[in-house]
Amino acid sequence: DTAVSQTPKYLVTQMGNDKSIKCEQNLGHDTMYWYKQDSKKFLKIMFSYNNKELIINETVPNRFSPKSPDKAHLNLHINSLELGDSAVYFCASSRRLAGGQETQYFGPGTRLLVL
């Protein structure tokens, strides 16, 4: 059973288009995240959602917007795609415990290529 799943696995699109990446977790976690991994493999957190509230938002362009219809899903919508948006995007989830944070579990990644 897949714990954290992302769709699509690969996404090739033209500059200026709008696209969405979906993420679903079946772990019962209450917090979900989006990370961007650049060409140098460096991971940077973009967003996290806890109980439908955005609690972390790094300096990410407002063309990127996370949408969480429920606790099990956190989709990433990107408007007006730019060449620099080409990267691998990872979704993750975790459970917030009274004593701290539980381990984050990662999805397989979505490889976005903007032409």
Partner 1 sequence: AQSVTQLGSHVSVSEGALVLLRCNYSSSVPPYLFWYVQYPNQGLQLLLKYTTGATLVKGINGFEAEFKKSETSFHLTKPSAHMSDAAEYFCAVSEFDNNDMRFGAGTRLTVKP
Site for partner 1, rule CB under 8 A: 31, 33, 35, 40-45, 48, 50, 55-56, 90, 94, 96, 99-101, 103-109
What is the CA 41 to chain-centroid distance, rounded? 16
Q: How far is the CB of 106 from partner 1 (least distance, A)?
A: 4
CA-to-CA separations, 46 to 28, 54, 91, in angstroms, rounded: 21, 11, 10
Question: Is 35 or 81 the residue whose CB approaches partner 1 more closely?
Answer: 35
Of 14 and 28, nearer to partner 1 (C-beta) is 28
Q: Reduced to 3 states, what is the DSSP secondary structure of residue 63? A: coil
DSSP 3-state of 83:
helix
Compare residues 79 and 86 and give the one whose CB is closer to partner 1.
86
